[in-house]
């Protein structure tokens, strides 16, 4: 039913005039008589939905079943029964139009008692363009916020006149602070590690004076004492006179980027180092092989030309000695190649104590002859995932070296320990042996065929192999040594 010319309306304006206004304004007026269920819609109500009066059924059932979006039914019903101080309620709902599908409308309703009759009056206005803009902005804001969270990116701004600092929600997340906390510019700078604080303060002062943007990457300690890396970037907002009014910029947590860069640089450095050592190894091996084969050929030729038995026996002894040296060189080459071949083997849990005890047992005669004291403490890191053959070789090489290069007339004391630090597994090996002059030989300690003492059985291959085994699995080995005091090796295993 439509509002008709004889519709009973109070006020000074005539009923027919008021009904004419209602039917022609750009809004839809509706009336619902709760007592008898009668519904009335203005011409404008039909028009907003794309219909002419009478084209669709004017009833409460039709409105709920055919026009009102199912997700808005509870909201609309609640708005019609709520009582506010002025008996009005406003909600935003979706109604199905004839030609444009569901559109957004703002509905304001009033609850009025007329004697014993209870009526609801309402007005709907099409707000679809504004609502879609609002939703689009909200979506963009959501995407921006989510992007900020994913990228750990935050917006910040400084008002130059008041030097007040504003931070986005993501900024408080980076600082690990409650967003109710208000930071000053100096307090913000204090979160950076020194000397980064002075650098930040100087950059802000400079952008105010010269309007020069800045882009910094500095270590930063959060409110929860977590150390990370932050990119701090800013641009000046300039007034009509070329002066900086505001500083606007971004914070970004780039800790994962820094760690990735460090890991990449470490890998490149390790790769370059390994390439250099392999080139050096190839040169040494080829040089030694040429030397051995050249000497061997010379001796064989000499053997063929010599008739006397005594001379031939002496030459044969030389041939035997050259052959032994050639065999040793080939075995060393085999060991280095074996390291690269075993990298692909699966790591397994290796328990230090039983493995080290077995090595001590194998070297028991050497230990007893020297009256050496071999101690160990694996309580802080009892086991590690490693290639078992590598670990056995590393421990055996280090223990053999400590026994071999002991100080004369001093009882050898050897200590092996393991521990964990910053999620890395470490092994240390320390003795009170002869030590090495690192000023003279520091860059040669892990070289192939490098020896620093006059021991007859020194080959200069053990530490070369140990370093290759450690570094092939991404670890590092360092040395501290003092002549006639002792040596300490520290190995980061992973």
Tens-place pLDDT, residues 230-277: 999 999 988 888 899 999 988 888 888 888 887 777 777 767 766 765
54-65 core/surface letters (b: 16 or more CB in 10 A; e: else): eebebbeeebee
pLDDT in tens, 298-350: 888 888 888 788 888 888 887 887 777 677 667 656 666 666 556 556 778 99
Lowest mean pLDDT among 41-55, 73-87, 367-381: 73-87
**Does the pLDDT at position 284 exceed 60?**
no
pLDDT band at 155, cuts 50/70/90? confident
Domain 343-494 is in which class?
alpha beta
Asked if residues 89 and 121 have their Cβ atoms less than 8 Å apart, the reply is: no
pLDDT in tens, 103-131: 999 999 888 877 778 888 899 999 998 88
49, HSE (Cβ side, Cα atoms, 13 Å)? 25
Which CATH architecture describes the domain 15-128?
2-Layer Sandwich (3.30)
What pLDDT does 352 receive?
Answer: 94
Q: Tell me if the domain spanning 260-341 has CATH number 1.10.540.
A: no
Domain 152-253 is in which class?
alpha beta
Write out the DSSP string of 243-304.
Answer: -EEEEEEEEEE-HHHHHHHHHHHHHHHHHHHHHHHHHHHHHHHHHHHHHHHHHHHHHHHHHH
**Does the pLDDT at position 460 exceed 80?**
no
What pLDDT does 16 receive?
Answer: 53
Closest alpha carbon to 395 in 424, 356, 368: 356
| Coil/strand/helix, residue 390 | helix
Cis peptide before 195 (omega within 30 of 0): yes
Q: Do domains 152-253 and 260-341 have the same CATH topology?
A: no
Closest alpha carbon to 394 in 450, 424, 350: 350
Rounded CA gap, 7 and 258, in Å?
A: 76
Q: What is the mean pLDDT of residues 431-444?
A: 76
pTM for the complete prediction? 0.41
Closest alpha carbon to 461 in 292, 275, 328, 287: 328
Sketch the domain layout of the chain as residue ranges.
15-128, 152-253, 260-341, 343-494
Asked if residues 122 and 76 have their Cβ atoms less than 8 Å apart, the reply is: no
What pLDDT does 20 receive?
Answer: 53
| 76 to 28, 70, 124, 125, 150: CA distances (angstroms) | 16, 10, 12, 15, 37
Lowest mean pLDDT among 92-101, 108-117, 146-155: 146-155
pLDDT band at 467, cuts 50/70/90? confident
Asked if residues 479 and 438 have their Cβ atoms less than 8 Å apart, the reply is: yes
What pLDDT does 458 receive?
Answer: 46
């Amino acid at each position: 039913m439509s509002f008709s010319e004889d519709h009973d309306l109070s006020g000074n304006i005539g009923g027919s005039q008021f009904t004419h206004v209602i039917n022609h304004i750009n809004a839809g007026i509706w009336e619902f008589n709760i007592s008898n269920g009668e519904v009335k819609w203005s011409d404008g109500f039909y028009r907003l939905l794309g219909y002419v009066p009478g084209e669709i059924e004017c009833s409460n059932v039709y409105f709920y079943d055919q026009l009102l979006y199912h997700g808005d039914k509870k909201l609309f019903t609640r708005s019609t029964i709520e009582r506010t101080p002025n008996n009005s309620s406003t909600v935003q709902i979706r109604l199905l139009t004839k030609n444009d599908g569901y559109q957004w409308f703002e509905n304001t309703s009033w609850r009025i008692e007329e004697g014993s009759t209870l009526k609801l009056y309402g007005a709907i206005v099409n707000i679809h363009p504004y609502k879609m803009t609002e939703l689009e902005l909200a979506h963009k804001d959501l995407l921006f916020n989510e992007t900020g969270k994913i990228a750990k990116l935050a917006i910040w701004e400084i008002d130059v006149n008041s030097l007040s600092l504003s931070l986005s929600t993501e900024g408080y997340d980076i600082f690990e602070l409650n967003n109710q906390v208000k930071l000053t510019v100096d307090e913000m700078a204090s979160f950076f590690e020194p000397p980064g604080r002075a650098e930040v303060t100087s950059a802000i002062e400079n952008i105010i004076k010269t309007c020069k943007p800045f882009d910094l990457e500095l270590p930063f300690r959060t409110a929860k004492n977590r150390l990370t890396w932050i990119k701090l970037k800013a641009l000046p907002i300039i007034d009509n006179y070329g002066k900086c009014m505001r500083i606007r910029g971004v914070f970004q947590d780039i800790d994962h980027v820094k760690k990735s860069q460090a890991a990449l640089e470490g890998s490149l450095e390790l790769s370059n180092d390994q390439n250099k050592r392999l080139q050096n190894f190839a040169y040494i091996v080829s040089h030694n092989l040429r030397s051995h084969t050249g000497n061997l050929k010379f001796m064989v030729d000499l053997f063929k030309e010599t008739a006397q038995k005594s001379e031939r026996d002496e030459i044969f002894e030389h041939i035997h000695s050259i052959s032994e040296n050639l065999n040793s060189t080939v075995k060393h080459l085999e060991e280095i190649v074996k390291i690269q071949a075993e990298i692909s083997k699966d790591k397994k849990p290796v328990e230090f104590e039983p493995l080290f005890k077995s090595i001590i047992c194998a070297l028991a005669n050497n230990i007893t002859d020297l009256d050496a004291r071999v101690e160990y403490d694996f309580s802080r890191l009892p086991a590690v995932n490693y290639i078992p053959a590598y670990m056995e070789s590393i421990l055996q090489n280090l223990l053999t070296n400590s026994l071999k290069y002991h100080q004369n007339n001093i009882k050898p004391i050897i200590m092996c320990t393991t521990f964990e630090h910053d999620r890395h597994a470490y092994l240390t090996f320390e003795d009170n042996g002869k030590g090495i002059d690192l000023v003279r030989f520091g860059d040669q300690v892990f070289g192939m065929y490098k020896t620093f003492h006059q021991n007859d059985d020194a080959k200069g291959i053990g530490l070369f192999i140990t370093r290759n085994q450690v570094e092939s699995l991404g670890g590092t080995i360092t040395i501290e040594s003092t002549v006639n005091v002792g040596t300490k090796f520290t190995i980061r295993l992973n």
